[in-house]
Structure 1
């Protein structure tokens, strides 16, 4: 990855506002989820528009131009309709309309799946510059009155440009799914609103995923103590803290972007990485473990070297 960019919607929604809609207290949200505020997109901040802005920043961060992109990969589960795909419109907006462009839906693990696909495309010689973007408008698909989703999910986008390198900087992915429990997080066709069995999802994340993180480290030829930072999907703060403890690497910087951004699904991992870089908590070349997980139930983890 040579550049990372992000777009956070302008509107900030406080816990007091979210709590009123969901019929809970602001303290309840803070204690149960760990979110203090989140961003909600307005009418002009579409999945595509946010993706374009995030990708433009990634290009600038990497010192590249749209001419360096031959594939646009958009990780999202919140496009308003199945056709046309969002990636082609993003490619046009970036000024590379001839690039291959496709959407990838692995929900909250989408960005990490996208990185693995980009890595494979470049290793195979099929691509020379892949823009991987996670962009979501989750507020279009949740009810503000549903306390299990409304106060948690939010909107945003982040992107990374992936190009060839002489030495590996994106290491082998550890990924998979548990489709037997796919119905724990779903959007039924008859309602168009997300439903989530939060307690069971919490149990899955806190019992089944720590070993995946360790496997990703092994595939990179590292142990957790070699890592500078851990960037998990920003599902909720309790899950993040549990996984960080399970990895058992003292001094590890753990991203907690969920506190100010909420759960932005496929955008959450790159948004959290972007924030760590902005804060100066990670630097160029630092080994970082990215770990997405969510609806499907899908998961993907890989060690990367920070741009």
Structure 2
């Protein structure tokens, strides 16, 4: 194997919609205040669905789009920071429900950058021969960890899952997943937290905002450079959907003049590790990206961690 490529994408969102008007009945807020600060209009909330349920549904769609069977998969990776159960891991539960026989399976938690981390580790596993075909899933049920009386955080988060299927390239086929550019700022790791002593999402929003606006565009650009793709050729920039102002700020500094800027944050809220594959899947489903188009993915958040890579659309 000389590289890997994405051959199928899929996503899932719960049916329950929680609008800004709904939140205004719960806490002291309003639609104008929320949209002006974070750009969110509504978000989806899982009621009966678990993290494993949503992950499975997104993976089923990605698998169907790939034209592979569950028996072809030998690696399942799930990125999540919101799974309630510690053991068994979500990946093995998803593998069982899909009917994947004896795969390697593990969960990864780097919060909002989790999908890009997970995609990179699956890419590495296939490149080195430890796997041949993988399902990579980003999934969150953040509603389980949201303090619905805290207006600074409850306006932000939603529930969702997104998934991709990847396989190896052969011969002279060009790799469809570029090298990952990843890292962290461990001295700032506690600015986003879900801790045992306070089991709700807490964050220092202004600190995260300043870091994202100032530090991330050069790192995202490095991911394009590592893939050998000029910024003029990037068809879409799919960043973690944290805050519309952050996304627009990074995109402005990124200077990718022809790129679609994913803004699923408006209708889905912040879905952490699910946000990048969710937004990517919607762009593909809507016919906004052509097969082979280079897309710059970039996740960032709790840790503070970041990871990005260029992929070619299936």
TM-score range, shorter chain: over 0.9
Deviation at 1:20, TM superposition (A): 2.7
**Is 1:19–1:25's contact at 8 Å kept on the other side of the alignment?**
yes
* 1:138-157 superposed matches below 5 A: 138-157=142-161
1:251 counterpart residue number: 258
Q: How many residues align?
A: 306
* 1:72-87 superposed matches below 5 A: 72-87=76-91
Give me the whole-angstrom Cα distance separating, in 2, the residues matched to 1:212 and 1:170: 17
4+ runs deviating over 4 angstroms: none
2:111 counterpart residue number: 107
Deviation at 1:251, TM superposition (A): 2.6
Which of these residues, 220, 223, 230, is aligned with residue 223 of structure 1? 230
Give me the whole-angstrom Cα distance separating, in 1, the residues matched to 2:54 and 2:193: 24
**Is 1:88–1:97's contact at 8 Å kept on the other side of the alignment?**
no
1:183 matched to 2:190: yes
1:162 counterpart residue number: 166
* 1:100-159 C-alpha deviation (Å, 9 max, x unpaired): 111000100000001101110010011011100001000101112212211111100010
Give me the whole-angstrom Cα distance separating, in 2, the residues matched to 1:111 and 1:240: 17
1:197 counterpart residue number: 204
* 1:252-271 superposed matches below 5 A: 252-271=259-278
Give me the whole-angstrom Cα distance separating, in 2, the residues matched to 1:26 and 1:247: 29
Deviation at 1:194, TM superposition (A): 1.0
- 3-state SS of paired residue (2:153): coil
Which of these residues, 34, 58, 63, is aligned with residue 62 of structure 2? 58
* 1:34-71 C-alpha deviation (Å, 9 max, x unpaired): 0001000012x110011111000001111111011101
Give me the whole-angstrom Cα distance separating, in 2, the residues matched to 1:19 and 1:250: 37
Give me the whole-angstrom Cα distance separating, in 2, the residues matched to 1:213 and 1:19: 36
- 3-state SS of paired residue (1:230): strand
1:6 matched to 2:6: no
5+ unaligned residues in a row in structure 1: which ranges? none
1:20 matched to 2:15: no
In terms of fraction of residues, the more strand-rich structure is 2
- 3-state SS of paired residue (1:209): helix
**Is 1:75–1:110's contact at 8 Å kept on the other side of the alignment?**
yes
Deviation at 1:97, TM superposition (A): 4.0
- 3-state SS of paired residue (1:22): coil
- 3-state SS of paired residue (2:152): coil
5+ unaligned residues in a row in structure 2: which ranges? 1-5
Give me the whole-angstrom Cα distance separating, in 1, the residues matched to 2:26 and 2:283: 31
TM-score using structure 1 length: 0.98
2:34 counterpart residue number: 29
- 3-state SS of paired residue (1:193): strand
**Is 2:240–2:272's contact at 8 Å kept on the other side of the alignment?**
yes
**Is 2:244–2:266's contact at 8 Å kept on the other side of the alignment?**
yes
* 1:285-296 superposed matches below 5 A: 285-296=292-303
- For the aligned residue pairs, the C-alpha RMSD in angstroms reads 0.9
Give me the whole-angstrom Cα distance separating, in 2, the residues matched to 1:205 and 1:20: 31
2:291 counterpart residue number: 284
